[in-house]
Amino acid sequence: MRTALVIGTGLIGTSIALALSSRGVRVHLEDSDDDSLRTAAALGAGTEEPVAAPVDLAVVAVPPASIAESVAAAQRRGVARGYVDVGSVKGGPGRELAARGGDLGSYLGTHPMAGRERSGPLAATPDLFEGRPWVIATTPAVDTELLNLTLELVALCRAVPVVMDADSHDRAVALVSHAPQLLSSLVAARLETAEESAVRLCGQGIRDVTRIAASDPAMWIDILAANPGPVADVLSEVAADLEETVRSLRALQAADEAKRADGAAGIEELLRRGAAGRQRVPGKHGAAPTAYETVAVPISDRPGELARIFADAGRAGVNIEDVRIEHATAQQSGLVQLMVEPSAAPALAAALREQGWSIRR
């Protein structure tokens, strides 16, 4: 791939353009929003110059409701040898493109499973997709050359290709992405009118659950409007679980011992199912989940402290597999949780103590 056209310079489009440009591909940029286009170009994502001759691949990075129209328009212009979209919904846009008379042989629906709470070109980064799944919703009509170009696109963005049919993809993202967004927002919405005394008690758990609730509402309206059925199916199942959970919690308040025992059993079963489901979430680099041991270190909130603790861990020859920071409320301090292989935890704790760190295990 020597040349590409990226249509849409939001977070995903600009991140793709940055990744391609950094690997020597000449990228042309298009966007109906002139400010977004100029910003992406200024970041080094590509050039605003119009496409003079067909590029190798056109990447359509627009909201799901606009994908079919944008792909069809680009095909009519003949701006590329092949066309892919990177929207978060696949079934509807493909069917709409077919209804519009688009060329399904030169079009392929894809979806990089990456994003951030922030949107727009300023949130873009060339390593956004590194190590992340990138769904390719291939069909029998797709030209082999286009499939190869798409695989090259995924490789240049350092993502991991995953082949699925469009409708299976839409059901999958409803479960692992779209419904969780709404559930996060539902929990966060409870905080809007909560008493300040309650909000001040927020800890890492509520921060984790509500992190994605900070996402752009307009963007999510576009996504959910394109995949409402599968999302509603997931939420319907969650609603049934919620009803049963409420029943179990009410039973825990009963005077009758048997009812309390029944309520406790219901809650225990839900927690068991939740733990079993969490164990299926892929771990580091997509591998099977690993049970790491945590070495917790109190740390002050000042420049250089994180760098120092990572350097001390490096000198001990211990690889940090993951890290979390719990920030203390109303204090300039926090707790750094260093996740390591269980066999490495004693050595790391000892090495950090030698460097003057306080350890909590």
- Per-residue confidence of the chain (361 residues) as pLDDT tens digits? 999 999 999 999 999 999 999 999 999 999 999 999 999 999 999 999 999 999 999 999 999 999 999 999 999 999 999 999 999 999 999 999 999 999 999 999 999 998 877 789 999 999 999 999 999 998 888 889 999 999 999 999 999 999 999 999 999 999 999 999 999 999 999 999 999 999 988 888 898 899 999 988 988 998 999 999 999 999 999 999 999 999 999 999 999 999 999 999 999 999 999 999 998 887 665 555 567 889 999 888 888 888 999 999 999 898 998 888 887 665 677 888 898 889 899 999 999 999 999 888 6
Backbone angles phi, psi at 358, to 5 degrees: -90, 135
Q: How far apart are CA 89 and CA 66, in angstroms?
A: 11
- What fold does the segment set 170-278 form as a domain? 6-phosphogluconate dehydrogenase C-terminal fold (1.10.3660)
DSSP state of 360: B
Question: Quick check: helix, strand or coil at residue 15?
Answer: helix
CATH for 293-354?
A: 3.30.70.260
Q: How far apart are CA 70 and CA 232, in angstroms?
A: 27
- Report, at the CATH architecture level, how domain 3-164 is classified: 3-Layer(aba) Sandwich (3.40)
Q: What does DSSP say about strands 322-327 and 333-340: parallel, antiparallel, or unpaired?
A: antiparallel
Q: What does DSSP say about strands 107-112 and 133-137: parallel, antiparallel, or unpaired?
A: antiparallel
Start and end residues for every CATH 3.40.50.720 domain found in the chain: 3-164
End-to-end CA separation in angstroms for the chain: 51
CB 231 within 8 A of CB 170: no
Q: How many CB atoms lie within 10 A of CB 102?
A: 22
